[in-house]
Amino acid sequence: MEKNKILGIVDHTLLKQTSTWEQIKELCDGGMKNNTASVCIPPYFVKKAKEYTEGKLPICTVIGFPNGNMTTATKVFETEDAVKNGADEIDMVINIGLVKEGKYEEVLEEINSIKKACNGKLLKVIIETCLLTEEEKIEMCKVVTKSDAEYIKTSTGFSTGGATLEDIKLMREHCGADLKIKAAGGIKSFEDAEEFIKAGADRLGTSRLVK
C-alpha cells in the first residue's frame, strides 16, 4: 500500500497527560500536511484545534478516558461538551467492570446514550482488549455490532497492551459487516500498519507514522 493511502486512515494521536498546545498545534500541522483521517487529542484542546485547523482536518477526542468507569451521565456530558466545542469524532471507553460482571445490556445502553449525545458525529467504542478474555472480546463485538456506533476500537494505549493482529482478526470474525474496526496502541511502522489493515482494520490510531 502507498504511504499516503495508509496515512489517510490514521488518527494522528497525542493524548499524553503532559501535552501542551504547542505540541497539539504541531500534531494538527502534521495531520493537515499528510491528510490524515483526523487528529485525536484531549478534550481540553478541541475548541482551539478546531479554530486552528479551520475545517481542514477532522478533530477526534476521547470520552471516559482512559479508565471508562465514570457514570454514564458524566460521559454523556463530556460528549455533548466535546461536540459543542467542535469535535467531529468521539472515541469512548466502555465500563470494563460491567463487562467483567456480564452486564452487557448496560454496556449497550451506555454506548447508545453516548451515540445520541454525539449528535450525528462518528462514535468509536474502545473495549480495551488487553483487559478482556477472548469470550469477553467476542461478546463485546456482538454488543458494539448491535449498538448505534460506527467503530469498535482495540485500545486506549494507556493500559497493559495495545492492538494485536490476533485481536483484529478475532474482531473481524465476530463483528457485523457494517461495523468498522480501529486498531490503536503499538503501531510503530508502515509495515505494522499494512499488517493491521490486511487483518481487517479500517482505521489506525498512532502518532508514529507521520513522524
Q: Would you kindly state where each structural domain of the chain is located, as residue ranges?
A: 3-206
pLDDT in tens, 65-100: 999 999 999 999 999 999 999 999 999 999 999 999
Annotated active-site residue in 115, 121, 124, 182? 182
Annotated active-site residue in 91, 121, 124, 137? 91
CATH architecture under which domain 3-206 falls = Alpha-Beta Barrel (3.20)
DSSP state of 208: T
Annotated active-site residue in 75, 115, 121, 153? 153
pTM of the model: 0.97
d(CA 17, CA 210): 20
Please indicate whether residue 153 is annotated as part of the active site.
Answer: yes
For helices 72-84 and 104-117, give the axis angle rounded to 10 degrees.
20
pLDDT in tens, 26-72: 999 999 999 999 999 999 999 999 999 999 999 999 999 999 999 99
Please indicate whether residue 182 is annotated as part of the active site.
Answer: yes
Please indicate whether residue 188 is annotated as part of the active site.
Answer: no
